[in-house]
Amino acid sequence: MAISARRRRTGLAAWGFALPFTILFAVFMLVPVASSLYMAFTDMHGADLRTPWAVNFVGFDNFAAALADPKFQQAAGNTLYFVGVAMPLTLGIALLLAVLLNSGLVWFRSVFRVGFYAPVVTSIVAVAVVWRFLLQPDFGIVNSALGLVGIDGPRWLTDEVWAMPSLIMMATWRNVGYSMVILLAGLQGIPRDLYEASAIDGAGAVRQFRSITVPLLRPTLLFCAVITGIGYLQFFEEPFVMTQGGPLGATNSVAYEVFNQFGFGNYGLSAAMSYVLFVAIVILSYLQFRLLRTEK
């Protein structure tokens, strides 16, 4: 009796702790996730904003329309292009910097760490101002510097070929610091004795990197790959502030197309597209877990 009464009391107290978050979570997260799924199967438009229940079910029409839409196809291709190049680039540079910083020979480790991480904490809107100037074709710093060595730099953000590489550079610049900090912490967790023991056994530096660093860093690399992949698949902010998806849709992304269709008032289509993106994120994360999980 006493025990069950006490349990009931702690149960009440526990819900007391959980309730404020749970209410907000239900209203502002669960309801939107569920209604997004609902909207994806209806013909809801901007005009139905105040009467979201007075819409027609259209089955998979929105999904079919999205997949058949050349603009969506282009956006999906661009997103894959972005993830496929920016993700290995970001992780590669982050790993390189982390390994370099982990060396005992670095002069001011915390200065470097802070400097590499600083872009992560800055606002994309502010960063856009800076990068638009850096990449300005006539007097921007990048083309002026290229001019010094006799290279006639492209019109970065308005060139169909160069716009995406520009955004890849920018996204890499902004995200390297995050993975670097986590990888550095992972590297510092690898016992030094392992390197010394393997050196005695005659292992060279490359061999040590492949046989000690990479396997022991695998869980950390996996974490960075999943987080970076999830973020990069939602590629939106860079094109939004830099190119508005142009030129000629060359930097349009799936997330951007979701936003555009929302802007056009095609709420159902927009929701369907966002679920396509969701599925892509789940698939990519699953593949990464399969690929990078610790081998038994």
Partner 1 sequence: MTVLTERPRTRRPAGDQPSEGRSAARRFTPRAILLNVVLLLGLAASFGPLVWMIVSSVKPEGEIRQFPPTLFPEQPTWDNYTELFATLDFPRFFANSVVVALAVTVGSVLFSAMVGYALAKLDFPGRRVLFLLIMGTLMVPGMVTFVPLFVLVANLDLINTYAALILPFLAAPFGVFLMRQFMLDIPDELLDAARVDGAGEFRTFFAVVLPQTKPALATLGILTFLGSWNNFLWPLVAVQSADKYTLPVALALYSTGQNTVQYGLLVAGATVIVLPILIVFLALQRHIVQGISTTGLK
Interface residues for partner 1 in 9-38 (CB under 8 A)? Answer: 10-11, 13-18, 20-22, 24-25, 27-33, 35-36
- Give whichever of 63 and 209 is closer to partner 1, judged by the CB atom: 209
158 is a site residue for partner 1 (CB under 8 A): no
User: Cα–Cα distance between 74 and 296 in angstroms, integer?
Assistant: 40
Q: Which of 128, 146, 190, 292 binds partner 1 (CB under 8 A)?
A: 128
Token pair of 121 as six digits: 């904490």
53 is a site residue for partner 1 (CB under 8 A): no
Residues numbered 218 to 237 that lie near partner 1 (CB under 8 A) are 220, 223-224, 227, 230, 233-234, 236-237
Positive or negative, the CA dihedral 160, 164, 165, 167 is: positive
Residues numbered 137 to 156 that lie near partner 1 (CB under 8 A) are 139, 141, 144-145
264 is a site residue for partner 1 (CB under 8 A): no
110 is a site residue for partner 1 (CB under 8 A): yes
Contact segment (CB under 8 A) with partner 1 among 69-77, 83-91, 100-108, 153-161 equals 100-108
Per residue, what are the HEC states of 137-189?
CCCCHHHHHHHHCCCCCCCHHHCCCCHHHHHHHHHHHHHHHHHHHHHHHHHHC
88 is a site residue for partner 1 (CB under 8 A): no
| Cα→Cα distances 147→38, 138, 141, 150, Å | 55, 10, 10, 5
99 is a site residue for partner 1 (CB under 8 A): yes
240 is a site residue for partner 1 (CB under 8 A): yes
Token pair of 187 as six digits: 């590297």
Q: Which of 69, 81, 102, 137 binds partner 1 (CB under 8 A)?
A: 102
How many residues sit close enough to partner 1 to count as binding (CB under 8 A)? 110
Token pair of 141 as six digits: 């710093």
Minimum Å gap between C-beta 242 and partner 1 is 10
For 204-218, b/e burial (b = at least 16 CB within 10 A) is eeeeeeeebbeebbe
Residue pair 198/211 in contact (Cβ under 8 Å)? The answer is yes
Residue 57 main-chain phi, psi, to 5 deg? -75, 135
- Give whichever of 74 and 208 is closer to partner 1, judged by the CB atom: 208
Q: Nearest-CA neighbor of 101 among 115, 118, 119? A: 115
Contact segment (CB under 8 A) with partner 1 among 62-70, 81-89, 266-274, 288-296 equals 266-274
63 is a site residue for partner 1 (CB under 8 A): no
